Chains A and B, each alone.
Chain A
Amino acid sequence: MKRLAILALLASAPAFAAPIAITGATALTARGEEVIRNATIIIDAGRITAIGAGLPVPAGATVIDAKGLPVTPGIVAVPSDLGLTEVGGVRETNDGSARTSPYSAALDMAGAINPASLHFAIYRMAGVTRAAAVPDAGNAVFGGQGALLSLAASGPTVTRARAFQYVELGEAGAQLAGGSRPAAYAQLLGLLDAAKQLAANPAATVGGEDSGSLTKRRDVEALLPVIAGTQALMVHVERAADIIEVLKLKARYPALRPVLVGAREAWLVAAQIARAAVPVITHSLYDLPDDFEGLAASRNNVGVLQAAGVTVVLGPLGGIGGTTPVNLPGYAGNAVAQGLIPGGKGLTRAQALASITANPARVLGLSDTGTLEVGKRADVVLWDGDPLELTSSPTNVWIDGVAQSLTSRQTELAQRYKTLGRTDLPLQYPQ
C-alpha cells in the first residue's frame, strides 16, 4: 500500500510523465527559414527527442493533435523586470534598482526573484517561457548582475544567477554618474580597469569598502567575469556615437562581450556593429525622436540591422507605452509589417520569430532552448493561429516538457465579472 502510494507520487512528477507527441503541426522552428509541415514533435523527459514531418508516435505517448496550427519555441523575454517588480508604482515591491545603495555592479538580482509574482502566469499564458531579469541602474552606471528565469509554474525559477552585468550609458548614464557622458565613462572605466588589475593580480589591493571609496571591492570583484568574457555586458545606449564608443571598449578589454540595449540609432552604424559581432536588443516600434540621443529613431532600425548581419533581439523595452513581454509576438509581427511598406526595412516572419526566441536565447547563453530541434529543452508553444498576429493566442504551453496552466489572476477576475447580475451572495464568494 505504501509502495503504491510512492509509485503514484512518482508517476505524477513531470520527469516521469509519458512522452508527448504533438502531431499535425506546422512547426516554425526558429532555425533559419525552416517550416516543417505536418510535423510531429516528440517530447520526452523534458527534451525534444524527435521532430520531423509525419514521424511515428511512440507507444504510450500523450498525443496532441495540432490540426495544422503553428508550433513555435517558447518566447524568451529580455530585458524584463519579472520577479523583481510587482507593481511599478509601489516602491517596496521593486528590487530592480537601488537608488541609495553604495554598491552597483555587485548587486545580484537572483536572491530577490519572487517566483510567486502574478506576472509569471500572465506572461506564461502569452507563450513566454524564459526571461532575463535585468536590473536597472539606480545610483551609478552599473546596475548589477541579472538572472535567467524559467516561467514554469513548478521547479526552480532562477535557472542561472549572475548571468550578465548591466550598465547604463548615454543620457541616463551621464545623469547617474554626476551629469555628463565623460563622468559616466570615468565610472565605467574606473571599475573595469580595477577589475582588469585584480584579474591580473588577485593579490592587488583594489577598491575600498569605506564610504569615500570611488570603487568598491565587491563591485570590482563582480566585474571579473565581465572582463573575462564569461558574463555578457548589457549596455544601454541609444545614440549612434555612443554605440561606436561602446564598440571601442573591445580594444581595451579584448574579452568583453557587449550587448547593445535600446540602440535606436543603431541603423546608422549597422555595419560597424555587425563587424564587431555585437548583438542588439531593441524595440520594433521606436519611431519618435523622444530625446536628443534618439533623434534618428525609426522602425526600419530592426530590418537594417538584420540585413547587415547583426543578431537582433526584440525586447519589451521602455519608451513604448504599456510595453510588456505579453506583446512580444506583436512586436515581431510589426517588424514584418515594416518590410511590407514602400521604403520600409523589416524582417521575414521566420526572422521575426527568431528575434523573440532563438536570438534572445543565444544572446543570453541559453544554448539548450530557443529553437525546435532534437536535444533542446521542450519549451514549446502551440498557437490557435499565426503566432505573430495580435488576434492569436497560445492553446498549449510546455516548459521543460511540462504542460503549463493557461490561467492567471487576470482570467480569474474576468470570470468573476463576466456576469454582473445580482445573485444570492456578492461576487466575492466563490462560485
Chain B
Amino acid sequence: MALLAQHEANRGEWLMKSSYLLATAILALATAASAKDKPAETPSPPPEVIRVGKDPFPSQYKPYPGVTTVIRGATIYDGAGRRIDNGMIRIEGGKIAEIGASVAVPAGAKLIEAAGKYVTAGIIDIHSHLGVYPSPGVQAHSDGNEATSPARPEVWAEHSVWPQDPGFSRALAGGITALHVLPGSANLFGGRGTTLKPVYGRSVQEMKFPGAPYSLKMACGENPKRVYGSRNQLPSTRMGNIAYARQLWSDAVIYKRRWDDYTKRAEAGTAKPGDAPRRELALDTLAGVLSGEILVQNHCYRADEMANVISMSHEFGYKVTAFHHAVESYKIADMLKAEGICSAMWADWYGFKMESYDGIRENIALVNAAGACAIVHSDDANGIQRLNQEAAKAIAAGRRLGLPIAPELAWTWLSLNPAKGLGIGDRTGSLEVGKAADVVLWSAEPFSVYARPMNVWIDGALMYDWGDPKRRPIADFELGQPGAGDVK
C-alpha cells in the first residue's frame, strides 16, 4: 500500500470523524462508488485531498474456530472486579454469550465441569518485548532498540517482530490472551508499539489485534541519557531529556497544524495535491498522539520525572496513557489518579539501577488504594508467563501494609485495566456479554503458586490445553530441538 493514500472525497466531514482505523482502501472504494452511483448530483469534481494512511499494515488475524462451550461450577473473576462463586459462563460465536449463577446450555454445547476450578478473563500484558527481543536472544535477534537517535518515533515495533518467537507459546500457556509489544527504552521516543494476540501467524499481521490503536513508546530517565550521553550527544542529562522531547513535541504541533490547515483547505477545494505538506514518518506518529489516536506508553521510574512528563504533556496537549515500570508511582498516586494515568508495574523489582532504588513491594497496592489505575506488567519473556503470580505478591505486600485487596479486584490489574490502557477495553479485558471470549480456566485459585492455566480460549477458540499436545503450539524454531512439544 502506498505510504500516502490518495483518493477523492466528497464526504470529507464524515471522513474526518471516522475512525483512523478504517482502511483507506475501503474509503477509496466508498467514494468511488458514491461518485459512480450519483454522477448527476455532483455538479463539479470533488476536491482531491491527500491523506496520511493510518493503517498500512492492517491486521490479518482471523479467530480460529471454536465450539459453543459452557463452563460450570467454577469460581469466576470476571476481570472487571466481580466475582461469581459456583458460576457459569457460555462461550459462543467467539464471544461471551452469557455469564452468571446459571446460563443456558444449548444442545450440543461442550460442557466443562469445573467445580473447584477458577475461570478468569485472559491476562493482558501491556509491556512485552516478545518478538522484538525473541528467543534465542542472540545479537541477530536484537531488534528492539533503534538506538541511532534519541527520537525514532518513525520505527514500528511490529516491523521487528519475529512471529516465530518461542516466547509466544509460553505466554499463551501462562494465560495471556493479548500483549502489547513495545520498542525498548534506549530512546526518548522509541517508536510505535503494537498489540498482538499470542496466536502464531506466518506474519505479524496475522497476529495483530484487529482495530487496536498504536502506542508511542517514550522513555524518561537513565536509559536515554546514558545511551546518548556516552556518545557525547544530547541528551546526557535529565534536563537534556526533557529539552529534547519538548523541541520535538513543538515540531509535532507545527506539523499537525500544517496538515490540518492543508486538509481543511483541500476539502474546501482551495488547496491542490501539490500543496500537501511533506510527510515525515516520525512526526506522523507524534501527530497521531496529539490527535488522540495513538496512546503514549511512557517508561518512567521516578515520581519527579513522571511529574515533569505530566507537565510536558499539558504544555503540548497530549495525554500519557500509562507510565511503565513506575516504581515510584506510590509517591504520586494521588496525582496519577487526578490525571487519569495508569501505572504499569512489577511486583517487586528494585535496586538494579539508581532510578529503581526506591522500588517497594507495596507499590501496586498503594497505587490501587489511592484509586489510581494499577496494571501488572512483565517487560520480560519469563515474567509474562506468571503475571498472576506477580499480582499475588502485590496482594501480599498490600496486606502486610494493612491494605487488604479482594482477589477479584486484583484481577482488574491483569485484564480490564491493561485492556483500557491499550484502547481495547470495549472488546476484551473482562467476561461481559458481547465481549471477546478471551478466557482462562485455572487448575486452582489463580493467585496460588500451585495454579496453572488448564485451558486458554482466544476469541472463543481453544488455543491452549495443558493436557492435549495438539493444543500446545511449537514455534518453528523449536521443531527438531530437544524437548520440542513437551510440557515446559
Contacts and interface: CB of A to CB of B under 8 A. Distances in A.
Contacts of B333: 420
B349 A321 contact: yes
Given A87-B353, A288-B166, A414-B330, A391 B382 contact: no
Contacts of A411: 360, 362, 401
A388 B452 CA distance: 15
Nearest to B407: A391
Nearest to A293: B136
A121 interface: no
B43 interface: no
A183 interface: no
Contacts of A320: 380, 382-383
A61 interface: no
A89 B452 contact: no
Contact of A333 (B167, B349, B450, B467): B450
Interface residues of B, number: 63
A287 B359 CA distance: 27
B348 A392 contact: no
Contacts of B488: 287, 297-300
A290 B136 CA distance: 4
A300 B137 CA distance: 22
B487 A344 contact: yes
Contact of B466 (A288, A292, A319, A341): A341
Interface in A291-342: 291-292, 295-300, 319-322, 324, 326-327, 330, 333-334, 336-337, 340-342
Interface string B472-488: 00000110011100111
Chain A interface helix/strand/loop/mixed: loop
A321 B347 CA distance: 11
A2 interface: no
A417 interface: yes
Nearest to B351: A87
A418 interface: yes
Contacts of A417: 330-331, 366
Given A90-B354, A268-B482, A289-B477, A300 B348 contact: no
B136 A291 contact: yes
A186 interface: no
Interface string A257-271: 000000001001000
B334 interface: yes
Contact of B348 (A291, A297, A327, A341): A327
Nearest to B223: A89
B67 interface: no
A129 B322 CA distance: 38
Chain B interface helix/strand/loop/mixed: loop
Interface string A80-95: 0000001111100000
Which of A89, A324, A411 gathers most chain B CB within 10 Å?
Answer: A89
Nearest to A265: B482
Contact of A393 (B366, B400, B481): B400
Nearest to B335: A420
A389 interface: yes
Nearest to A93: B354
Contacts of B348: 322, 324, 326-327
B136 A295 contact: yes
A410 interface: yes
Contacts of A324: 348
Contacts of A414: 330, 360-362, 366, 401
Interface residues of A, number: 54
Interface stretch (B227-235, B286-294, B390-398): B390-398
Contacts of B400: 393
B449 to A, nearest CB: 3
A410 B360 CA distance: 5
A390 interface: yes
Interface in B429-454: 443, 447-452
Contacts of B137: 290-291
B136 A334 contact: no
Contacts of A289: 135-136, 166, 477-478, 481
Which of A291, A319, A420 gathers most chain B CB within 10 Å?
Answer: A420
Interface string A232-258: 000000001000000000000000000
A336 B449 contact: yes
B170 A288 contact: yes
B487 A336 contact: no
B452 A322 contact: no
B170 A389 contact: no
Nearest to A86: B351
Contacts of A298: 483, 486-488
A417 B332 CA distance: 9
Among all A-B residue pairs, the 6 with the closest Cβ atoms: A321-B380, A333-B449, A89-B353, A296-B482, A390-B392, A414-B362
23 contacts: A87-B352, A90-B353, A287-B170, A287-B385, A288-B166, A288-B167, A288-B170, A289-B136, A289-B478, A289-B481, A295-B482, A298-B486, A299-B488, A321-B381, A322-B349, A324-B348, A327-B348, A337-B449, A341-B487, A343-B486, A411-B360, A411-B401, A414-B330
